[in-house]
Amino acid sequence: MSTAEPGHTIAVAVQTPAHSGMGDLLTYRSAQPLAPGTLVRVPLGRREVLGVVWEALAAPPEGVDLRAVAAVLDGIAPLDAHWRRLVNFAARYYQRSLGEIALMALPPQLRDLQPEQLARRLRRPAPTAQTDAAAVPLVALSAEQENARAQIAAQPGPFLLFGSTGSGKTEVYLRCVQAMLAADPSAQALVMVPEINLTPQLEERFIARFGATSVVALHSGMTNPQRLKSWLAAHNGSARIVLGTRMAVFASIPQLRLIVVDEEHDASYKQQEGARYSARDLAIWRGREQGAKVILGSATPSLESWYASRPASADDPGGRYLRLHMPSRIGEGALPRLRVVNMNHQPRRTVFSAPLLAALQERVERGEQCMILLNRRGYAPVLHCADCDWKSDCPHCSAHQVFHKADRTLRCHHCGFTVRVPRACPGCGSPDITPIGKGTEQLEEQLATLLADVRRPDGSPVRVARIDADTTRAKGALEAQLAQVHSGETDVLVGTQMIAKGHDFRRITLVAAVQPDGAFFSSDFRAPERLFSLLMQAGGRAGRDAQYIASQGSRGELWLQTFHPEHGMVAALRQHDYIAFAEQQLQERRDAAMPPFAFQALVRADARTQEVAQGFLLAASDAAYTQGLPGLGDHVTLYPPVPLVIQRVANVERVQMLLESDNRPALQHFLAAWQPLLLALRNQPEHKGLVRWLVDVDPLAI
């Protein structure tokens, strides 16, 4: 560390308060010339904060007494121009301040360590990068895998690797990374997964192939020291492969040559707090800007990626991506067969139909494993009193408190407010309060009762387990539970969508979705896409090991209990026909001018009252028309503000306003021109009580 004195004028990106209007860059003086990308500590108000030097200025502003840079982080090489351009693009596109994006992309501990602590950490010798791929025996690629690998090697991309569940997409990723590392001794790769719980198993495969010193992970489940260590290894080049969740797209990887986005369709790649960026979309931009190949992989691609990979035709030049198709499972394993149970023919309030129970019993008795999917945790969504119609509503949100039987609590899954279950109805005193609806906790309990007499091949009783956000809170709990499934200790696994994707369960032969109908008729135009993807991904957990399936003399099955067996989605699921489903959905969206044939943004206002929130957005709309902002009316349409479906969370009222455009640049120009008006409105007296406002570009939920 070195202390600065007067001499040079620099512009520094710092994390200023949201919507403060302070501007993207603040100006400081430095005793020495500092290269762009240098990390510094600078005074901001009464605090000293971390900043990134963005540019050197020719002269200080006139009549301004600049404050001096407090310290320079000498031991860390400046962040390169590629990284700064990525941050700048993300800030502009997602309508956030440059300093917010820049500092968000840096490890938290870098902001907090004292200078001497950081100096000690930097003095520790960094491990030497190495690859020991040659020591690992490689499995032979299938013809489809080899074709995909050859195309990726020969073409510039980006690529959409459209491979069915179990087709061996991960092995293609591994081979492409291996070829890239072998071709360039300094090259680095970024491999992203949608969720933290998928990182450990992928990390194991990469470490087994390339060695522990070459691979680092980056995700929010790590401790701050772990994240800093991984970030430094990627930044200085000692880590050749970076595995991570969406935050990893901002990692400093100077020699980046390959980016893999696994399960690219997953909504987890879209940040839902603060700067609402899409890591998948930024990966495409970063790959093009930095000269890195990009592979998007999925068995059920997002419709945006599917459309972007459409082949050329006589009247269509085609999409920007190259689509690579791998329809077959490794080892000639068959895709799971769909079994549909018409719940209209079952007794009222049936949770597990008789045919499904019989199938579960048969599989357990043969020593096979089963998986039950219900994307709702807890015991029941609500408690209800039949005498006075009381419901377990959250006092702080427009939502019910969920009944959790294990600890006898009512919990709001939106604000976290928790109370003990009352002994009697708080409204009328009746002791007869009953749960309504089903959650994973109740399914686990019911299955344990219904299968109590079922025996495993060794004569021991059936073992039912549950994996959801409640059972995996403790550190290491998820890994321990997954290990029990892999070892065969669990016979029937009940869980939410966190078990439905990415996991390579070798002995699961039956997957059942017990209550999937809610999304069939949702008002959200993306709901069918999400449901189809979830069911296809969940079904893909069944029958993945062709040798095991053959030895058992059975076939993987996906069971679907539905009141709408004639729905078009069911027909597409029966044939595993994502292509037909995608084309039908794209036609509907084309007819309705919805993404990917149009571009959207949301402006949301949160306030203490609906009146203030609605008033702010109405005033913002009026200001846009009064000022005649570019594109408004010609390319950009503003819709009236409406409350969110859950309009109150933690005593804050939420309202949103939709913007649509037939032209992406026009929408961006409009938003950029609108920002100063929104900032000015924020400070007007009539909007006192406004908690926050935000812009969400390319929203996934409306």
Helix/strand/coil percentages in the chain, nearest 5:
35, 25, 40
- Rounded to the nearest integer, the mean pLDDT of the chain is 90
For residue 174 the two structure tokens come to 């591994």
Order of strands, edge to edge, in the sheet holding 508-513?
337-342, 557-562, 508-513, 369-373, 492-495, 464-467
220 pLDDT tier (thresholds 50, 70, 90): confident
Mean local confidence (pLDDT), 634-643: 95
Order of strands, edge to edge, in the sheet holding 322-326?
215-218, 241-244, 188-192, 256-262, 293-298, 159-163, 322-326
The residue among 11, 195, 13, 192 whose CA lies nearest residue 96 is 13
CB 91 within 8 A of CB 24: yes
What pLDDT shows up at residue 1? 47
What pLDDT shows up at residue 472? 85
Sign of CA dihedral 406, 412, 416, 419: negative
Is the peptide bond prior to 158 cis by the omega test (within 30 degrees of 0)?
Answer: yes
What pLDDT shows up at residue 701? 84
Contacts of 123 (CB under 8 A, 6+ apart): none
Q: Which residue has the higher pLDDT, 354 or 7?
A: 354
Give dist(CA 249, CA 269) in Å, integer: 10
Mean local confidence (pLDDT), 318-333: 88
524 pLDDT tier (thresholds 50, 70, 90): confident
Q: Which of 60-74, 312-326, 385-399 has the lowest mean pLDDT?
A: 60-74
What pLDDT shows up at residue 590? 95
Q: Is the pLDDT of residue 83 over 80?
A: yes
What pLDDT shows up at residue 9? 93
6 pLDDT tier (thresholds 50, 70, 90): low
Tell me how far the alpha carbon of residue 80 is from its chain's centroid. 27
Sign of CA dihedral 575, 579, 580, 586: positive
What pLDDT shows up at residue 130? 47
> What does the H/E/C string look like for 577-598?
CHHHHHHHHHHHHHHHCCCCCC
What pLDDT shows up at residue 133? 45
**pLDDT tens for residues 585-620?**
999 999 999 999 999 999 999 999 999 999 999 999
**Which whole-number Å values give the CA distances from 327 to 78, 251, 335, 530, 646, in the listed order?**
45, 33, 10, 20, 40
What pLDDT shows up at residue 218? 93
- Beta-ladder partners of 562: 342
Give dist(CA 143, CA 28) in Å, integer: 59
Indicate the DSSP class of residue 550.
H
Whether residue 370 is annotated as binding a ligand: the answer is no
What pLDDT shows up at residue 280? 97
544 pLDDT tier (thresholds 50, 70, 90): confident
**pLDDT tens for residues 17-42?**
766 666 789 999 999 999 999 999 99
Report which secondary-structure segment, H or E, holds 471: none
Q: Is the pLDDT of residue 409 over 60?
A: yes
Tell me how far the alpha carbon of residue 100 is from its chain's centroid. 20
What pLDDT shows up at residue 683? 84
What pLDDT shows up at residue 114? 67
Mean local confidence (pLDDT), 297-319: 93
**pLDDT tens for residues 129-183?**
444 444 567 888 999 999 999 999 999 989 999 998 888 899 999 999 999 999 9
Chain length of the chain:
702
Mean local confidence (pLDDT), 437-451: 93
Give dist(CA 527, CA 602) in Å, integer: 18
Give dist(CA 126, CA 213) in Å, integer: 10
Whether residue 385 is annotated as binding a ligand: the answer is yes
Q: Which of 120-124, 208-212, 356-360, 595-599 has the lowest mean pLDDT?
A: 120-124
Site of tokens 């959409």: 160
Q: Is the pLDDT of residue 91 over 70?
A: yes
Give dist(CA 550, CA 546) in Å, integer: 6
For residue 399 the two structure tokens come to 């939502």
Please report the DSSP string for 194-260 in residue order: SSGGGHHHHHHHHHHHH-GGGEEEE-TTS-HHHHHHHHHHHHHT--SEEEESGGGGGS--TTEEEEE
289 pLDDT tier (thresholds 50, 70, 90): very high
> Torsion angle of alpha carbons 56, 60, 65, 69, nearest 10°?
10
The residue among 616, 582, 375, 584 whose CA lies nearest residue 498 is 375
Give dist(CA 171, CA 105) in Å, integer: 30
Query: Other C-beta atoms within 10 Å of 177: how many?
Result: 28
What pLDDT shows up at residue 2? 44
Mean local confidence (pLDDT), 283-300: 96
Order of strands, edge to edge, in the sheet holding 409-411?
402-404, 409-411, 418-420
What pLDDT shows up at residue 523? 78
Tell me how far the alpha carbon of residue 261 is from its chain's centroid. 11
- Beta-ladder partners of 495: 373, 467
Domains of the chain: 8-123 (3.40.1440.60), 133-326 (3.40.50.300), 333-377+439-591 (3.40.50.300), 378-438 (no CATH), 599-697 (3.30.70.600)
Whether residue 425 is annotated as binding a ligand: the answer is yes
Read off φ and ψ for residue 440, nearest 5 degrees: -60, -35
